[in-house]
Amino acid sequence: MKIHKTSIIDKDTIIGENVEIGPFCIIEKDVKIGNNTKILPYVHILSNTTIGKNNTIHQGSVLGGNPQDLKFKNEYSELIIGDNNTIRENCTLNRGTEASGKTIIGSNCLFMAYVHVAHDCIVEDKVILANGVQLGGHSEVHYHATVGGMSPVHQFCKVGQHSFIGGGRVALQDVPPFILANGEPLKYSGINSVGLRRRNFDIEKRNLIKRAYKLIYLSKYNRSQAIEEIKNSLKMIDEIKIIINFVENSDRGLI
């Protein structure tokens, strides 16, 4: 363990093995920091924050701050961060509210500079949030999704797994899995072919995904009719089931 003498750390903080804490950090009570995590200068970690192992947290980030929600009345809530994440400069990750009690960050994520994750969000594994991405409260970003720089995601919106949102866009509704989302207003711009190939989705899976979205976005069917046609006409591989489940459980509607 290597802690700079200028940092202020509560005596009850639980710190794992081989943790490095740089100059001028403040770590409050009821914080847990996992093995091999590196905390660079001027990081502030507030109470009720749990950080897993092998994370790197860069200068000026604030983790576990109070929710920016007028309904928050200082109830107990948490920020939970997994393993192997890189959190770049000046990111702000807030705790949850009584609605869910926690904000959850998965593992193997990259948050570039100035990312904000609001209260009660869920960010799953291998997510990339580019510079200046802002997640509204209760929003979800699913496995291996990418959100381009300076793109806000409206509160309660969901970003589906393996999807890609272009930079400088605004997500006001749910972004389905496996697609590219671009344009103003944000719209379906084809499937995320490059990302899917890089992640070893074979040609059959990619073609089935493409056929499903043709029925949803490019056919004469309305949304519910498209889903029925998908169920009746396409092979029920896991990816098609994921699309159906996402669409059927969309609260804000699809882009």
We report the CATH number of the domain holding residue 45 as: 2.160.10.10
Same domain, 129 and 236: no
- Report if residue 156 sits inside a domain: no
Same domain, 201 and 131: no
According to the model, what pLDDT value does residue 246 have?
Answer: 98
Q: Which residues of the chain have pLDDT under 70?
A: none
Q: For 179, how many CA atoms within 13 A lie in the half-sphere containing its CB?
A: 26
Q: What is the pLDDT of residues 123-164, one digit of tens each?
A: 999 999 999 999 999 999 999 999 999 999 999 999 999 999
If DSSP states are collapsed to H, E and C, what string results for 158-223? Answer: EECCCCEECCCCCECCEECCCEEEECCCCEEEEECHHHHHHCCCCHHHHHHHHHHHHHHHCCCCCH
Same domain, 119 and 212: no
According to the model, what pLDDT value does residue 240 have?
Answer: 98
Domain range holding 101? Answer: 2-138
Same domain, 129 and 206: no
Q: Which residues are catalytic?
A: 119-120, 137
- Report if residue 178 sits inside a domain: no
State what percent of residues in the chain have pLDDT above 70. Answer: 100
According to the model, what pLDDT value does residue 146 have?
Answer: 98
According to the model, what pLDDT value does residue 128 have?
Answer: 98
Distance between CA atoms of residues 66 and 24, nearest Å? 21
Same domain, 224 and 105: no
Sheet holding 187-191, edge to edge: 2-3, 20-21, 38-39, 56-57, 86-87, 110-111, 128-129, 146-147, 164-165, 179-182, 187-191
Per DSSP bridges, beta strands 187-191 and 179-182 are antiparallel
Distance between CA atoms of residues 181 and 160, nearest Å? 11
According to the model, what pLDDT value does residue 33 have?
Answer: 98
pTM above 0.95, yes or no: yes
According to the model, what pLDDT value does residue 191 have?
Answer: 98
| Cβ atoms of residues 103 and 80 within 8 Å | yes
Same domain, 115 and 219: no
Distance between CA atoms of residues 122 and 28, nearest Å? 23
Q: What is the pLDDT of residues 72-88, one digit of tens each?
A: 999 999 999 999 999 99
The domain spanning residue 224 has which CATH number? 1.20.1180.10
According to the model, what pLDDT value does residue 59 have?
Answer: 98
Same domain, 132 and 204: no
State what percent of residues in the chain have pLDDT above 90. Answer: 100
Strand partners, 8: 26
Number of domains in the chain: 2
Same domain, 35 and 122: yes
Same domain, 211 and 101: no
